[in-house]
Amino acid sequence: MFKVFDNEGVQTRNWHVLVFMAAVIIFFTILLVRLYSLQYTHYDENLQRSENNRLRRVVVMAERGFIYDRNGEVLVRNRPSYQIALQAMHLPRKDSVRKIVFDRLLNIKDKDGSRLFDSLSLDTAFQRTRWIKNRPIRILEDASPEQVSIIEEHSSELPGVVTLIESRREYPYGTLASHVLGYTSEISEEQLKKPEFAAYTQGDRIGQKGLEQGYDTEFRGKNGMKLVEVNASGREVGQVKGVESMSPEPGLHLISTIDLKLQKVAEEAIADSVKGALVAIDPRNGEILAMVSSPRLDPNIFSLKKRERNKGWAQVALDSMRPLTNRAISGTYTPASVFKLATAGAGLESGILSETKYYPKPCTGGYQYGARYQKCWGVHGNLNVVHALRLSCDVFFYQAGLEIDMNRINEFARRFGYGEQPLGVDIPGEKGGWLPDSVSFNQRNKRLGWRWARGLILNLSIGQGQLVTPLQQAVFVGSLATNKGVYRPHFMKELRDKQGNVVRRYEPEIVRQGTMKPSTHRVLLAAMDSVVNHPGGTGKRGALPGIRVGAKTGSGEWKKGEKTHAWYAAVAPLYEPEIAVAVILEAAGGGGAKAAPIARKVLMAYFGLEEEEKK
């Protein structure tokens, strides 16, 4: 009996041993097959994966080109900026481990005890890493050296969190020329959908507004590429030796037409609490010497970290003064009495007016037209065209406008820069104006039920009803004075490479006819001279010592019961023009009293007369 029991026990143990040995053999067979597969069958694939984890192709961003004034003073440059980012390929794959990294980041505080990251933006960044694998996701922009050192101290606990060094735009003069220069920011989702941004990718910083946008392609340059070795946390260990990298090509530098000294004087002359604009241009070639739009903004806010940037943007965007608007090129206003130069020019060109012509109805303070009595701002008596421009008499131009007709007046105005078509300045946002005639007036006011009537010419002949920009106003008086054509206004003088070689130089371009009969030219110059240099001229506050200035003042009506917009448009020297200046101050009053002194300051600075005056 006992012998039988022992045999059964031995058989059972042997069976167990056989099963165990079979299991071991199967396990090692599977292991050997897997090893063979890894080492031979999938060797190339696994090697590539290993290399991809160890090596990383890094885009080397090209240095953005600088912007200089016409004398070589830096207006826009770059500064280094630290970015803390997530590198998707080196973040833990398991959600539980990613959560640990998330919590560690969330608990990091600065020396003041404030958290470096907020949970909402950090969670958004982690979510984005699930579908954005090939580029870093920023979680802290423009980090301070202290913040970078804190992150580096915790680097071993933060796999996939890296520190990057980028360059950000810096505007050393703050608000100065901000509407001309523009700013840079990360490209938006809406922009990426447009075909003109096909060469850009998410995360790129591009020019927005001003020269930054107008010459973004030239400023960008071409990015380079390098192969670097990284550790398990995704941090760079060093560049791979023996592998040739592609160096970036820096962007081109832009030498602008802006005169920094003149720009400073112009900005100081217009208080930031005032709505207005100023344009100073060389009418001989279209170079814009200074441009101010008030109120101004500081483009440096767009280079700050996200929280501060959003706060600054909100203040700017919600400001009722609309500081984002470049009033100099996109603000449209009635040209007021400056337009009387166009009415007079059209009359002289057609032979309807002459220096010796007087209208039968003298200025007694107003003009009766049918049942309507149209007032003048003063009582001026009998006048010819020169005297009427000097005193800015409305009654003379009511009669002249009715006789000349709007078609002739509008043709002359378009010839010298006014009109619906923009002049083509090389920054975005320029608007055209409007010169009403019977057809365009009826189309524009169809919904209101208004129809063209001949009596409208009374207002239009004195510049109350058209729309012009300050840029158009400066171009108009400048081209009137030169009588050599309307040159396209522009800011780009030269583009240069890193070595200082000229890559492209702007060639002046005539975009409107801008010429008239010598006799017409002579009379208009005499009138502009009289406005400034005659004791009774409305623009005498713009006169300069030793320099002949010609100008025209204007007071643009815009809302009943409110002060008029103050206009002043001037050229100097009048008979050999080098500079034209147009100034508008919204709801400020008379142009001769309010705007002329501002233009005078700019002209004084241009001719170097302010130093003499101080002495």
Tokens of 75: 């207006």
Widest pairwise Cα distance in the chain: 154
Give the helix/strand (H/E) hosting 492. strand 492-496
pLDDT of the residue at 49: 46
What is the predicted pLDDT for the residue at 110?
A: 84
Question: Which of 415, 426, 424, 422 is CA-nearest to residue 469?
Answer: 422
What is the DSSP-derived secondary structure letter of residue 88?
G
pLDDT of residue 219: 95
Q: What is the pLDDT of residues 121-140, one digit of tens each?
A: 899 889 988 887 777 888 88
> Read out DSSP for 179-206?
HHH-EEEEPPHHHHTSGGGTT--TT-EE
Sign of the CA dihedral 254, 258, 259, 261? negative
DSSP 233-294: TS-EEEEPTT---B--BPPPEEEES--HHHHHHHHHHS-TTS-EEEEEEETTTTEEEEEEEE
pLDDT in the model for residue 6: 60
CA separation for the pair 35, 204 (Å, rounded): 44
Pairing state between β 161-170 and 74-86: antiparallel
Q: Which amino acid belongs to residue 29?
A: T
User: Which residues does the chain have with pLDDT short of 70?
Assistant: 1-10, 34, 36-59, 226-245, 305, 611-615
Dihedral sign, Cα of residue 237, residue 241, residue 243, residue 247: positive
- Other C-beta atoms closer than 10 Å to the C-beta of 78 total 18
In sequence order, which ranges of 483-567 are alpha helices (DSSP H)? 518-533
Of 594, 332, 552, 577, residue with least CA distance to 462 = 552
Task: Please choose, from the candidates 127, 130, 123, 90, the residue with its C-alpha nearest in 3D space to the C-alpha of residue 106.
Answer: 123
CB burial of residue 183 (10 Å; 0-12, 13-18, 19+): buried
Q: Dihedral of CA 22/28/29/30: which sign?
A: positive
Extended beta strands in 302-418, E state: 366-369, 372-375
Asked whether the whole model's pTM tops 0.95, one would answer no
Checking phi first, is residue 370 left (phi over 0); if not, alpha (psi -120 to 50) or beta?
Answer: left
Q: Which helix (H) or strand (E) holds 83?
A: strand 74-86
Task: In whole angstroms, give the CA distance from residue 520 to residue 49.
Answer: 81
Structure tokens at 554: 């204007």
Could you tell me the end-to-end alpha-carbon distance of the chain, in angstroms, rounded to an integer? 136
Predicted local distance difference test score (pLDDT) of residue 47: 46
Closest CA to 606 of 554, 575, 567, 571: 571
86: helix, strand or coil: strand
